[in-house]
Amino acid sequence: MTSTATTIEEYQRGGYKYGFVTDIEMDSLPPGLNEDVIRAISAKKNEPQWMTDWRLEAYQRWLKMDEPDWAFIDYPPIDFNSISYYAAPKSMDDGPKSLDEVDPKLRETYNKLGIPLEEQMMLAGVAVDAVFDSVSVATTFKEKLGEMGIVFCSITEAIQEHPELVKKYLGSVVPQNDNYYAALNSAVFTDGSFVFVPKGVKCPMDLSTYFRINARNTGQFERTLVIAEEGSSVSYLEGCTAPQRDENQLHAAVVELVALDDASIRYSTIQNWYPGDENGVGGIYNFVTKRGKCQGKRSHISWTQVETGSAITWKYPSCILLGDDSMGEFYSVAVTNNRQQADTGTKMIHIGKNTRSTIISKGISAGVSNNSYRGLVQINKGAHNARNYTQCDSMLMGDKCGAHTFPYIDVRNPTAHVEHEATTSKIGEDQMFYCTQRGLSEEDAISLIVNGFCKEVLQELPMEFAVEADKLLGISLEGSVG
Amino acid sequence: MTTMTQNQTMRDNSWLLTELPESVIEHDAARMPKWLADIRRSAFRQFTADGLPSAKQEKWRQINLRPIRETAFGLPADGATDVSEAEVVGHSLPFVDAVRLVFVNGRYAAELSDARAMPSGVTVQTIREALKSESTILETHLTKYVNADDDPFVSLNTALLDDGVVVHIEKNITCDTPIYLLCITTAADGPIITHPRNLIIAEDGAQATIVEDYVGTDGEVYLTNAVTELVVGEDAHLHHYLLERESDAAFNVSTLTAYHKTSSTLSSHTVLLGGALVRNNVNPIIDGEHCHSLLNGLYIGRGKQHIDNLMRVEHRKPNCESRQFYKGILTDESRGVFAGRIIVSRDAQKIDAVQSNQSLLLSEAARANSMPQLEIYADDVKCTHGATIGELDEEALFYLESRGLAEPQAKAMLVHAFAGESLERMNLPVVQEALLQMLTQRLPFTSAANV
């Protein structure tokens, strides 16, 4: 076991590889939150009056709400008045007309992250709507997608260009007063992505957004809305990395997905926000509300997430299975190390008949971290023949971390079949022995075993992401355990 | 409210639990030793500070305590009871050799009890008797194990504790005679609250079987708020049974805390059948190595019953095993809740813990909640949990029907087989057979078939 201790230490010393800061002049609002700040955000984005009113309404609701405290996480109270709610790179004021005009420093940043923004991007077949702090800086493939009727743009643009769609769907899955952070987001969201896939169209490529938090003291509040009309399908990728900071940064995003009859949405996330150092200093507070509504018959929403970053993760990508025969899936790998805390899982609300859901969750805890799965499976009265299968496995690395499982199952229809299984384990000495005696180094052996542990989730990721996820797991668990 | 006197009828002295007057506990304080009166006072203060739990508290989220909150309860009157010997026999499980202690409305009824001579080394007393004796067992152990945090009902029980059973089994003594506590509540004069309190100490190497049985008459409204503390000494083995067969309009809150010492074994069997609103708390604290803890439960809901189970298995030391098997059968508009938590402390390595909750939903309006939870702080452990909820297996039904069984018979057979697994884990044939009969009366389809 001594080798275990050493490897854990090595892992804990492993620095955050994306911790650099891009030095760009920022156009920020002073810290603080009040109606004027919200009006200012709305004005900066040149929003119509209905949008400003919607934000103010959300703010009023937020004021009446309490911060939730039920999650298995511990953090000092957040002073919402010490955060600046708007930051845009200055150079945006001139507005880049093409990729070449994008601020070279920004592009350099993305290149460090390995984001294929230029030629590589074409080759990779990925359309990128890169969000640098709060304003979308580059959108590609827009025209090509536009020919098919697909809208892929920033939410700011969508509010200007497609107000009828935004009005109809914004807040339809995650209402303003859904929870504390969703209300906050509704009031102050600065940017995010908007996807609309019209009837019968299969989106020919994976749509991708990289988020990046850059400016000091700015919360990132994105709002993403994906709408798939009848018979359409789309795959959306979201990746996040953030530079190293000493202060905790707040990230409260809202993602809404709407799938109509026979539509299919696949949403994949790799979350690698800065997790804080080994003493728990710094790191992102990630309070995210993600929810998909399978509104139509036979619709399908699938969430896949690989969560390795953030000091605190509070995230429950959920599916409301409203349409008959609709299907929801949740595949998750959550890794915590050092003093990271994750409370993540999903909700599957079965409302329609013959609805099915699958939950596969893999939690890996190392260091002195705490990793919790929290999930709800609810079968409503009218949900005849609903099916759910849940499996959540935890793996512990080291004897100072915690792995917890808090499933909630609520069944109100006798024809439902709900199964839940969970296990907690560690990497077996026999597994390690087998691998090492075949000539694998301890590192490779761990990587192999962890990849095997997460395989059911990783194989759900689109190709480009699977490669990155594989790399990330490798980095996150560098030198961990046996 | 002024001090209660014995002459006043109970109905003049009923109160909502949210407005419990201090005079209620001071009334009995005079005939109690100071240490106990102090414990009761402190628990009373705790209870009034906490108040009844609200649905906002995680452990109480699935249960609606409004019926309890809105009922004015009185304390049972002291003195003679109107329960006849015949009624006791009617209620009683047909033990041939058990020590039977009968409590009516929370008070020991000597004339109805059968306290035959116990084997030497076994002492069975009521709390009131024990307080009069030289024994220091109560002072040493009472309230030392049960956790009143988040559970005002435990504080309430302690504040009002007045009678119950103290069982002491000396070192290396095996008590073959089951110790049977029959608690009968009659509330013909209006809702009453009883608060049985039991303390069972098995010294090192001792063995015993305790059966707690709560019964009442259908239609009567009352609250039984029972707390039992078990201490299982080194290498000791305790079998504990809880049978809840209260009135269909009654409320029952039971809390069982078991403190495990090294190499001890607990087999806890819980069968919940009656009551409108039932809460069953089981909390083994495994504070020694090489222990084994079995929590075996069966709950059957019908009508509008709400049955809520909260398990909390605390593994504090390494190399132990725990098993939770809880099964629910829910018909009509009943609702069954299971919340189980396994907590493995930082240094409790090599724990093997299993938690399983299976619910059978037999009607459109029945509802089941399952929350099998793990809280693990040690890395070398094997913890698994599983939950299934659904109706009877269609393939199994088809198989039986293809063999010539009518549908009701086939269903009855499957339901019995489902419940049978829980009964098989028990070690008292008398209880098993009695339960089988009760199940046949209660379970749906069974009038169609005698399985």
Residue B102, pLDDT score = 94
Q: Is A327 part of any domain?
A: no
A424:B380 CB<8 A: no
Residue A346, pLDDT score = 95
Residue A116: pLDDT above 70?
no
CA distance B170 to A157: 80
Q: Is A198 part of any domain?
A: no
A396:B376 CB<8 A: yes
Query: Encoding tokens for residue B387?
Result: 């939950």
Q: B406-438 pLDDT, tens per residue?
A: 998 899 899 999 999 999 999 999 999 999 989
Q: Which among A381, A407, A425 has the least Cβ separation from residue B372?
A: A407
More confident residue, A114 or A65: A65
| Beta-carbon count within 10 A of A120 CB | 12
Residue A410, pLDDT score = 94
Q: Is A439 part of any domain?
A: yes
Q: What is the average pLDDT across B11-17?
A: 75
Phi, psi angle pair for A304, to nearest 5°: -130, 130
CA distance B60 to chain A (A): 13
Which residue from B325, B338, B388 is spatially nearest to B360, judged by alpha carbons?
B388
Q: What is the average pLDDT across A157-182?
A: 92
Residue type, position B138, single letter: L
Q: Is A446 part of any domain?
A: yes
CA distance A199 to chain B (A): 37
Burial of B402 (0-12, 13-18, 19+ CB in 10 A): exposed
Which residue from A327, A370, A316 is spatially nearest to A351, judged by alpha carbons?
A327
CA angle, corner B274, sides to B273 and B275, nearest 5?
Answer: 140
Query: Encoding tokens for residue A36?
Result: 């004027």
Q: Rounded mean pLDDT of chain B?
A: 90
Instruction: Provide the CB-side half-sphere exposure for B300 (13 A, CA).
Output: 22
Contact A349, A321 (CB under 8 A): yes
Per-residue pLDDT band at B11 (split at 50, 70, 90)? very low
Contacting residues of A for B347, CB less than 8 Å apart = 399
Per-residue pLDDT band at B241 (split at 50, 70, 90)? very high
| Beta-carbon count within 10 A of A14 CB | 17
Per-residue pLDDT band at A452 (split at 50, 70, 90)? confident
Q: Is A458 part of any domain?
A: yes
Residue A85, pLDDT score = 80
CA distance A422 to chain B (A): 5
More confident residue, B189 or B428: B428
Q: Which among B365, B373, B391 has the least Cβ separation from residue A415?
A: B391
Interface test with A, best of B331, B389, B414 (most A CBs within 10 A): B389
Query: Residues of chain A with pLDDT > 90: what percent?
Result: 40
Q: Which among A379, A399, A408 has the least Cβ separation from residue B378?
A: A399
More confident residue, A468 or A34: A34
Give the least confident one: A13-27, A320-334, A337-351, A369-383: A13-27
A418:B373 CB<8 A: no
Above 0.85 for ipTM, yes or no? no
Residue B12, pLDDT score = 54
A404:B387 CB<8 A: no
A412:B367 CB<8 A: yes
Contacting residues of A for B364, CB less than 8 Å apart = 381, 413-414
A419:B374 CB<8 A: no
Q: Which domain holds residue A478?
A: 429-482
Residue listed under structure tokens 């809305």: A225
Which chain A residues have any C-beta within 8 angstroms of a chain B C-beta? Answer: 70, 379, 381, 394, 396-426
Contacting residues of A for B389, CB less than 8 Å apart = 379, 409, 411, 416-418
Q: B32-77 pLDDT, tens per residue?
A: 899 999 999 999 999 999 999 988 888 898 999 999 999 999 888 7
Q: What's the CA dihedral at A42, A44, A47, A53 to 10 degrees?
A: 20
Give the least confident one: A86-100, A114-128, B7-21: A114-128
Contacting residues of A for B58, CB less than 8 Å apart = 70
For B62, name the nearest residue in chain A, comparing CA atoms only. A410
Which chain B residues have any C-beta within 8 angstroms of a chain A C-beta? Answer: 58, 346-347, 349, 359, 361-391
Rg from Cα positions in chain B = 22
Contact A374, A318 (CB under 8 A): no
Q: Is A186 part of any domain?
A: no
Which residues fall within 8 angstroms of residue B81, CB to CB, at 6 or more apart? B104, B105, B107, B109, B186
Residue A388: pLDDT above 60?
yes
Residue listed under structure tokens 């109606």: A35
A412:B387 CB<8 A: no
CA distance B294 to chain A (A): 19
Per-residue pLDDT band at A431 (split at 50, 70, 90)? confident
Q: Is A376 part of any domain?
A: no
Residue A23: pLDDT above 60?
no
B368:A411 CB<8 A: yes
CA distance B28 to B158: 13
CA distance from start to end of chain A: 8
Query: Encoding tokens for residue A245?
Result: 């900071």
Bridge partners of residue A330, in order along the sequence: A303, A359
Residue B150, pLDDT score = 75
More confident residue, A198 or B20: A198
- Domains of chain A: total: 1
CA distance A443 to A451: 12
Query: Residues of chain B with pLDDT > 90: what percent?
Result: 72
B290: alpha, beta or left, given left = phi > 0 and alpha = psi -120 to 50? left
Which residue from B51, B54, B61 is spatially nearest to B20, judged by alpha carbons?
B51
CA distance A273 to A269: 12
Q: Note the residue count of chain A.
A: 482
Q: A3-20 pLDDT, tens per residue?
A: 444 444 444 444 555 555
Q: B317-375 pLDDT, tens per residue?
A: 999 999 999 999 999 999 999 999 999 998 899 999 999 999 999 999 999 999 999 99
Q: What's the CA dihedral at B151, B106, B284, B430 to 10 degrees?
A: -140
Contact A284, A251 (CB under 8 A): yes
A403:B367 CB<8 A: no
A32: alpha, beta or left, given left = phi > 0 and alpha = psi -120 to 50? left
Query: Encoding tokens for residue B3?
Result: 């001090």
CA distance A160 to B169: 80
Contacting residues of B for A409, CB less than 8 Å apart = 368-371, 387, 389
Q: Is A281 part of any domain?
A: no
